[in-house]
Amino acid sequence: MDLSPSGVAHVRLTRADKMNALDPAMFAGIIDAGRRLAEMQGVRVVVLSGEGRAFCAGLDLSNFGKAPSPDSPPLTERTHGNANTFQEVAMQWRKLPVPVIAAVHGVCFGGGLQIASGADIRIVHPATRMAIMELKWGLVPDMAGYALWRGLVRDDVLRELIYTNREFSGEEAQALGLATETSEDPLARAMELAETIANKNPHAIRAAKRLQETMLEEDTDAILMAESVEQQAIMRTPNQVEAVMAEMQKRRANFEDV
């Protein structure tokens, strides 16, 4: 993980020899990266990508034959706020206070798709192989997928994808709502978009992300009030004034970081 001068943090899945498949070490490493990002000063945008031939091939199949550790908590135990460890691997990207952009290529199956779904924005190569894979193994999606897909995919379409575990392309994913856009170079496009967002008022960007979550979770009255609360806290602050001045003077803004 590295942080650019403009505040773009790049998180890479680095188990390329296994197509970034998820094993216990990967789960722990991804959660640690999210924890460090939440505490890091100067982060404005996060880009999430996978090294090698894939974004993430899902759960490492070699784990299927292993008995769970006797000290492993039950899945119903909330180890990370409202989530268990496996859910947090995907959910933490939605919980981060800054936007997260997933750059997806190669293969994005099962848990990998749920991790990508935690991002605010997904840039996907049109030929990426994607699937909600869990029913193939007699399981259900349980890495926060149901919470993250809400509002992205039409209900009956999502049911078909889950029930059949059929494979679809990145191009189809955009049509379905699981990809924001397609690109022949998802990482380059994600970095370009991240730089654009990083040049916005960081207080306003964080407020906008909070409002997006309010829009999904709350009723109309609560949404209207949340808009007013966030706007009142931002108006006439130094960063908001700087945003206006930078636009008027046609220059890059010089914001104070959160």
pLDDT, one tens digit per residue, over 88-103 is 999 999 999 999 999 9
Note the pLDDT tens digit of each residue in 33-60.
999 999 999 999 999 999 999 999 999 9
Could you give all domains of the chain from N- to C-terminal order, each with its CATH number? 2-197 (3.90.226.10), 201-248 (1.10.12.10)
pLDDT at residue number 102:
98
- Give the pTM: 0.95
Low-confidence ranges of the chain (pLDDT < 50): none
pLDDT at residue number 210:
98
Exposed / middle / buried, residue 145 (Cβ in 10 Å: 0-12, 13-18, 19+): buried
